[in-house]
Amino acid sequence: MTKRLLTGQVLSFAADPFHAPLDEAVQVDTAGAVLVEGGRIAATGPAAALRAAHPEAEVTDYGQDLICAGFVDAHVHYPQTAIIASWGKRLIDWLNSYTFPEEISFVDPDHAAEIALRYCDLTAANGTTTFVSYCTIHPASVDAIMAEAQGRGQRIVAGKTCMDRNAPEALQDTAQSAYNDSKRLLEKWHGVDRLSYAITPRFSPTSTPEQLAALGALWAEHPDCLMQTHLSEQLDEIAWVRSLYPQARDYLDTYEAHGLLGPRGLYGHAIHLEPRERARLAEVGASLIHCPTSNTFIGSGLFDMAGLMAEGQRIGLATDTGGGSSFSMLRTMAAAYEIGQLRGTPLHPAQLMWLATQGSARALHMDHQIGNVAVGMEADLVVLDLASTPAIAQRAARAEGVWEAIFPTIMMGDDRAIRATWINGRPA
């Protein structure tokens, strides 16, 4: 079995930098190395020591580039790849003008396969090694992204989006067919190689109570699965939910009443939460997924990172492509920083890096497998050139300390900063 030794600056986490001092939470070994064998991280430590201990290893010297865990994107819509950066709409108009017409085309399995290939290529080029995707109502859309990821040895999560109202007829299923299709796809893909299935009601406005209950029943039958949906993204959306579910205490209650609130639930956006919702989400240990470029691009609002973290919420980070305006988790980190500034609570670069790796992995209950550079973890890595453009290079050259050197790449970096992406121990 081939051993590969990657040398460079190595970033790893020992704790959550939101709740532990930085010098205890994170380490950057400026002359470090990562030994990869059989798709896993076999050793980490000083480069000189690992070179001496493993002279047979194939060495890739990344110089002063930063080696860290591959980025984990906790909320995406791969079928929206082709409509990213479409102008001028808010959530409901976005769905009707751009999303739904594009998703109808996924009735064609060849189109689904083409977009799945394109999406995986684009994300790998941006250093993303794991993502969690909504598909369309078409089972072939799930098969396409699962097969593409399987061929790359990639760890992903995906699920058939379920909608039985308030969508074009060509995109509606039923409560029963949503249950049947989701169950069949779950049994086909969940736990195969590095693939996981997520039960996926799009959001309460596009599901009847009967469909939500059917999907809640499916989740109860398969509690090891993740469940993903949207929650409290925009104020007019929340008003719509109130009109559709007049008996519900709040938006979260539309899920809770139908068995769709639990510790393995992923709730995208979660911007405009009521006190009861915040308390219940924390109580059950659910995951909130912050989508900063999407929240600004379609005018949703400013996520309360500091307040939610202080409550002990489990939080991940995501591009939300294509409502989000970039495939890059670097750009997503930059947007999270900017939203923090607007709320008067700027994030440290170590916290941003944690959110994009270990934090998102924790939100997916996969932090024992991915999201960190540590012995035994799966070897999903990204190598960042910290001087990828003249503008970044000139700023990094003046850095006083490692975080001043990393921060310009977070704020100004793009796919040019991705020196290499390693998926399952192999360069992508």
For tokens 């480069």, the residue is: 47
What pLDDT does residue 301 have? 96
* CB-CB contact of 256 with 281 (8 Å): no
Q: What is the pLDDT of residue 92?
A: 83
Please say whether the structural domain 3-70+371-427 has been given the CATH code 2.60.40.10.
no
The answer to whether residue 89 scores a pLDDT higher than 80 is no
**Contacting residues for 67 by C-beta, under 8 A, at least 6 apart:** 6, 8, 9, 10, 11, 32, 34, 373, 381, 382, 383
> What is the per-residue pLDDT across 348-407, written as a single tens digit (0 to 9) for each?
999 999 999 999 999 999 999 999 999 999 999 999 999 999 999 999 999 999 999 999
Question: Could you report the per-residue pLDDT of 299-310, keeping only the tens digit for each?
Answer: 999 999 999 999
Residue ranges of the domains in the chain?
Answer: 3-70+371-427, 71-363
* Across 251-262, average pLDDT: 98
Task: State the pLDDT at residue 96.
Answer: 86
Q: Could you tell me where the DSSP H helices lie in 86-164?
A: 91-94, 100-104, 109-125, 139-152
Percent of all residues in the chain with a pLDDT value above 90, rounded to a whole number: 97
Binning pLDDT at 50, 70 and 90, where does residue 171 land? very high
For residue 209, count other CB atoms closer than 10 A to its CB: 16
The residue assigned the tokens 């970039």 is 326
pLDDT score at 88 = 73
SS3 at position 157: strand
Looking at the predicted structure, is the pLDDT value of residue 91 above 80? Answer: no
If pLDDT is split at 50, 70 and 90, which confidence band does 126 have?
Answer: very high
Radius of gyration of the chain (CA): 21
Distance CA 302, CA 43 (A): 40
pLDDT for residue 93: 87
Cα–Cα distance, 95 to 76 (Å, whole number): 14
First to last CA, the chain: 19
The model's confidence at residue 87, banded by pLDDT at 50, 70 and 90, is confident
User: Is pLDDT above 80 for 286?
Assistant: yes
Q: In whole angstroms, what is the distance from residue 340 CA to residue 332 CA?
A: 12
Secondary structure element (H or E) that encloses residue 287, with its range? strand 287-290
Instruction: For residue range 150-159, list pLDDT tens digits in order.
Output: 999 999 999 9
Angle at 393 between CA 388 and CA 397, to 5 degrees: 145
312 by Cβ neighbours in 10 Å (0-12 / 13-18 / 19+) ranks as exposed
The pLDDT, as a whole number, for residue 51 is 98
The answer to whether 228 touches 268, Cβ cutoff 8 Å, is yes
- 411 in Cβ contact with 384 (< 8 Å): no
pLDDT tens for residues 34-66? Answer: 999 999 999 999 999 999 999 999 999 999 999
**Predicted local confidence at residue 1, as pLDDT:** 76
Give the pLDDT confidence of 202-256 residue by residue, as tens digits.
Answer: 999 999 999 999 999 999 999 999 999 999 999 999 999 999 999 999 999 999 9
Q: Which residues contact 256 (CB under 8 A, 6 or more apart)?
A: 280
71-363: what fold?
TIM Barrel (3.20.20)
